[in-house]
Amino acid sequence: RMKDALAARSEDDLRSPICCILGHVDVGKTLLLDKIRQTNVQAGEAGGITQQIGATYFPAEAIVKKTASLSDKGKMNIKVPGLLIIDTPGHESFTNLRSRGSSLCDIAILVVDIMHGLEPQTLESLRLLRDRKASFIVALNKVDRMYGWLPRPNGPFRASLKVQPQATQDEFAMRVARTITEFAEQGLNAELYYNNKKDVRKVVSLVPVSAVTGEGIPDLLGLLVGLTQKHMTNSLMYLSELACTVLEVKAIEGLGMTIDVVLSNGVLHEGDRIVLCGLDGAIVTTVRALLTPQPMRELRIKSAYVHHKSIKAAMGIKICAPDLEKAIAGSRLLVVGPDDDEESLMEEVMSDIATLHKMVKKS
Ligand code: GDP
């Protein structure tokens, strides 16, 4: 079946890239996510939080809008359906969660505080990204903290830099040079993304941003989409073979116990028979509802979830089903097909249990 699925792939049918955020504590990961989503999780006020499901989906239209200011040559040509960003910074999604042996995420944003440069946890993240041979870009955050910075909210970075006083521009150049040296000390070439004309997969792109003013966010989104759709089409070709991972197990008022999953390939349907890891052995149950949050701009409104008959990858989904009380975060989720033997799927899913236990202990 896997062979058929592979043969059916096409560059005209790409799935959304999945992205996660890493970095040292206090570099601004949470605020950056908030700014990208236009929510306010860091201040703890958004009504939208209650319906967060571990991953935010940006449809292509939203990305076109958010990157429109980057170029006067017209809209960005977007070939992927959208972008799925894992909401929890430093989530296990990159480190331990794997779907089909590879990382759940396709690309990472490593956030670095421009005022501090590379910090201990940044180095740890770098090691991890290298071990995984993962693609990543660097968000050089807090540019607004440089002396004399004149903010131009939500605009592209280079337009902001141009209007800064000379001393601020000099400080920026000095801090970037220092960061590039620090990357070199780690054996990595890095360049400001707009100067990165070499092989972008070998030279790390630095994207200056501010999570407070929103400057550089268009650049960040544009680069994420541009890089993934240009260089990762092979791994982004939609695959009908299911790949799905449980991010969180959560009780929700009115819904009971639910699981939030990332569907990285394939389709899920209401009524699907699913198999996942449980504390007392494999859980086999039936999908009662497939839910997603309200579309982007309505995240602030505390309203019901959107129900779906079926959902195609990639997407973050809340699943309602009976018997989820003992579900384990990090588990793979399998669907019982017409020719499948339920028992062997139960064995297959539980074969990951040793790794999952390690994760549970750690956290
Ligand atoms: P995290 O630990 O990486 O998730 O960092 P937070 O998002 O919680 O941010 C840590 C602190 O830095 C908070 O006080 C933020 O308000 C502040 N901060 C984050 N990003 C920026 C930025 O771009 N500019 C400025 N001036 N402050 C920021």
> 136 Cβ partners below 8 Å, 6+ apart?
22, 107, 108, 109, 110, 129, 204
- Matching residue, tokens 């260089």: 231
Q: Which two tokens stand for residue 103?
A: 């990382």
Query: What was the pLDDT predicted at 354?
Result: 73
Write out the chain's pLDDT in tens, 363 residues.
Answer: 677 777 778 888 899 999 989 899 899 998 998 888 776 555 544 444 445 677 888 888 888 888 888 877 677 888 999 999 887 766 665 555 655 555 688 999 999 999 999 999 999 889 888 888 889 999 999 999 999 999 999 999 999 999 999 999 999 999 999 999 999 999 999 999 999 987 777 899 999 999 999 999 999 999 999 999 998 888 899 888 899 999 889 998 889 999 999 999 999 999 999 999 999 999 999 999 999 987 654 444 455 788 999 999 999 999 999 999 999 988 899 999 999 999 999 999 998 887 776 655 544
| Minimum-distance ligand 1 atom for the alpha carbon of 209 | 23
**Residue 141 in contact with ligand 1 by CB distance below 6 A:** yes
Q: Is the CB of 167 under 6 A from ligand 1?
A: no
Using the mean position of ligand 1's atoms as its centre, give its distance from the Cα of residue 149 in Å: 16
pLDDT of residue 47: 40
Q: Whose CA is nearest to atom 6 of ligand 1?
A: 28
CB 106 within 8 A of CB 18: yes
Return the closest-CA partner of residue 60 out of 107, 109, 16: 16
Q: Which of 20, 27, 31 to mutate to test the pocket of ligand 1 (most atoms within 8 A of CB)?
A: 31
Can you give the chain as a three-state secondary structure string?
Answer: CHHHHHHCCCCCCECCCEEEEEECCCCCHHHHHHHHHCCCCCCCCCHHHHHCCCEEEEEHHHHHHHHHHHCCCCCCCCCCCEEEEECCCCCHHHHCCEECCEECCCEEEEEEECCCCCCHHHHHHHHHHHHCCCEEEEEEECHHHCCCCCCCCCCCHHHHHHCCCHHHHHHHHHHHHHHHHHHHHCCCEEEEHHHCCCCCCCEEEEEECCCCCCCCHHHHHHHHHHHHHHHCHHHHECCCCCEEEEEEEEEECCCEEEEEEEEEECEEECCCEEEECECCCCEEEECCEEEECCCHHHCCCCCCCEEECEEECCEEEEEECCCCCCECCCCEEEECCCCCCHHHHHHHHHCCHHHHHHHHHHC
Probe residue for ligand 1, chosen from 20, 22, 26, 157 as the CB with the greatest number of ligand atoms within 8 Å: 26
Place of tokens 């240009």: 230
CA 188 – ligand 1 centroid, Å: 26
ipTM value for the complex: 0.99
Per-residue pLDDT at 94: 57
- Give me the pLDDT at residue 267, please: 95
Residue 173 and residue 180 in contact, taking contact as beta carbons nearer than 8 Å: no
CA of 210, closest atom in ligand 1: 23
Alpha-carbon Rg of the chain, whole angstroms?
Answer: 21
What distance lies between CA 335 and its chain's CA centroid?
Answer: 24
Index of the ligand 1 atom closest to the CA of residue 213: 23
**What pLDDT sits at residue 187?**
95
